[in-house]
Amino acid sequence: MTRRRFSAFLLFTPVAAIAAEGRSTISGRLQASNGGPVLLKTEDGKLITLEGDVSTKAVLRDARVIREQFEAVGEWKSPDRFLIDPIHKKALFIRRGGELLVITYWCEICAIRTYAPGRCQCCQDETALDPRDPKLENTAP
C-alpha cells in the first residue's frame, strides 16, 4: 500500500513528468556572456553550452536569473551542448530553498504573466521576475 502512495506521489512531481516524456534535465549556475553562447557551469565544474529559441535565450541572459540556481529540461545534442525545450513547454526553472519554481515574469499593473523577460505587452513597463510553483499553472499572482 505504501508503495502505491509513493508511486502516485511521483506521478505528480515535475521530475516524474519529465522522465515520463524521456527528456533530460540539467542544473547549475548560468555564466554571464557578452553576446556569445550561454554557458551553464554544473556542480562538478563542467561547462555546457545552452541552446534554445529566442525567448529561452532572453531568459538565459536575464541578470536576475543568472544569480539563481538554474535548471532546464531538454535534450543533449553532444556531451557539451544542451538544447532546451521551446519556451511554450515551460522548461526553465530556478531552485530556491530546495523548491523547484518555473521561471515567469509578471506585470503588476496589468496582471499579465509571460515566460520571457521584457516589457509588458500592454503598459510597456518592465516585467518582474516572478518564479512560481509549477502547480499554480493558470492562476493569478
- Write down the residue that cell numbers 511554450 correspond to: 88
Please tell me the predicted confidence (pLDDT) of residue 107: 97
Task: Please state whether the predicted TM-score (pTM) of the whole model is above 0.85.
Answer: no
Architecture of domain 2-103: Beta Barrel (2.40)
Residues linked to residue 95 through DSSP beta bridges, in sequence order: 69, 100
8 Å CB contact between 30 and 60: yes
Please tell me the predicted confidence (pLDDT) of residue 17: 47
Indicate the domain borders of the chain.
2-103
Please tell me the predicted confidence (pLDDT) of residue 35: 78
Please tell me the predicted confidence (pLDDT) of residue 6: 38
Task: State how far the Cα of 32 lies from the Cα of 125, in Å rounded to an integer.
Answer: 24
Q: What is the dihedral of CA 114, 84, 47, 27, to 10 degrees?
A: 70
Could you tell me the mean pLDDT of each successive run of 10 residues in the chain, 141 residues long? 40 44 89 86 96 96 95 97 97 95 97 96 97 79 59
Give φ, ψ of 140 to 5 degrees. Answer: -65, 180
Please tell me the predicted confidence (pLDDT) of residue 83: 98
